[in-house]
Amino acid sequence: MRVYEVQKGTTSLEGLRMAQRPDPQPGWHQLLIRVRAVSLNYRDHMVTLGRYFGGAVSRDTIPLSDGAGEVVAAGPGVTRFKAGDRVAGTFFQVWKDGPRSSSPPALGVPLDGTLAEYIALDQDGVVAIPTHLSFEEAAALPCAGVTAWHALMAAGRPVRAGDTVLCLGTGGVSTLAMQLAHAAGARVIVTSSSDAKLERARKLGASDTINYTATPEWEKEVARVTGGRGVDCVIEIGGAGTLARSMQSLGFGGKVCLIGFLGGPTGDTSPFPLMMKAASLHGISVGSTHMFEDMNRAIEQNRIQPAIDRVYPFEQAPDAYRRLASGDFFGKLVIAV
């Protein structure tokens, strides 16, 4: 089969190469899946740069955590799926439910990932995809979607109708968060460096938009548009560089869900606003199989279609990576396999 590999020790996109590997065979409890589409996450860019946790990959590794396809064969002991089922793999392969008690291995690093024509996964590391979604749309869900769902619905008090959610930026996690929050009946405020992207965010249900380049003190604008009340949930993808403003954007009893680190390595992270507002800070690490299934029910019920910026053919996978690195996209970048 055709795959891409991030070669051992890689520190640039030059180390992403198309290669041939033997077709995998489904073992005990495993499904053989013909991958139809995969999507990129910021993490995948860091992996090719050798800057993901732990540094460069220590063996030639098939990259990417997110993919959707169809089951072509079931190994012995499989009970949950059959040939022909439309499925996606879960980011963590062995976190079924409940609180995470360890660091389970994830697809794409350290496990071989989804940028391959076939993949064999344990049936417990696979979920059925919403019936109204294409494979390209479903491929957007395993990391970005589940992370957004975890933050909104499983961390602390779940977001409910009438709440206000602040989403930072218009990348994969934030666009899925805005779609899920809007479907739950929440008011959604979105920040972006681009007015054109903010226009697209309004089409996905954002009611208030703030250009964080033109308005660097965006927490003041959040306070203004909420009449001084603040928000109930922040999708915090900036980390240390944005955390202080996120905490200042909160209303009483609100939560900041700490997801990413795109806003730079340093900043004022004084936790004082959390104390004054009886608010909370939740570290988010993608999510469990159970969360993925809960999210898929909500996506199906609300006919949500993840925002796909562009679908690249398999042969042009490096171009998709280059686009990810440029930041010039809205939502998700997908590769058809």
Ligand X SMILES: NC(=O)c1ccc[n+]([C@@H]2O[C@H](COP(=O)([O-])OP(=O)(O)OC[C@H]3O[C@@H](n4cnc5c(N)ncnc54)[C@H](OP(=O)(O)O)[C@@H]3O)[C@@H](O)[C@H]2O)c1
Nearer to ligand X (CB atom), residue 32 or residue 141:
141
CB of 221 to ligand X, least distance (A): 13
Taking the C-alpha atoms of residue 217 and residue 85, their distance in angstroms, rounded to an integer, is 48
Residue indicated by tokens 């860091």: 46
CB of 17 to ligand X, least distance (A): 23
Taking the C-alpha atoms of residue 61 and residue 323, their distance in angstroms, rounded to an integer, is 21
Nearer to ligand X (CB atom), residue 86 or residue 150:
150
**Spatial contact of 129 and 35, defined as CB atoms under 8 Å apart:** no
CB of 324 to ligand X, least distance (A): 6
Taking the C-alpha atoms of residue 205 and residue 178, their distance in angstroms, rounded to an integer, is 7
Percentage helix, strand, coil, to 5, in the chain? 30, 25, 45
Residues forming beta bridges with residue 39, ordered by sequence position:
66, 334
Where on the chain is the footprint of ligand X (CB under 6 A)?
41-43, 143-144, 147, 168-173, 191-194, 197, 212, 237-238, 241-242, 259-263, 284-286, 324, 327
Residues forming beta bridges with residue 88, ordered by sequence position:
68, 127
CB of 217 to ligand X, least distance (A): 13
Nearer to ligand X (CB atom), residue 24 or residue 50:
50
CB of 44 to ligand X, least distance (A): 8
CB of 104 to ligand X, least distance (A): 12
Nearer to ligand X (CB atom), residue 29 or residue 202:
202
Nearer to ligand X (CB atom), residue 201 or residue 279:
201
Which residue number places its CB atom closest to ligand X? Answer: 171
Nearer to ligand X (CB atom), residue 193 or residue 301:
193
Taking the C-alpha atoms of residue 9 and residue 105, their distance in angstroms, rounded to an integer, is 19
Three-state DSSP string of 184-213: CCCEEEEEECCHHHHHHHHHCCCCEEEECC
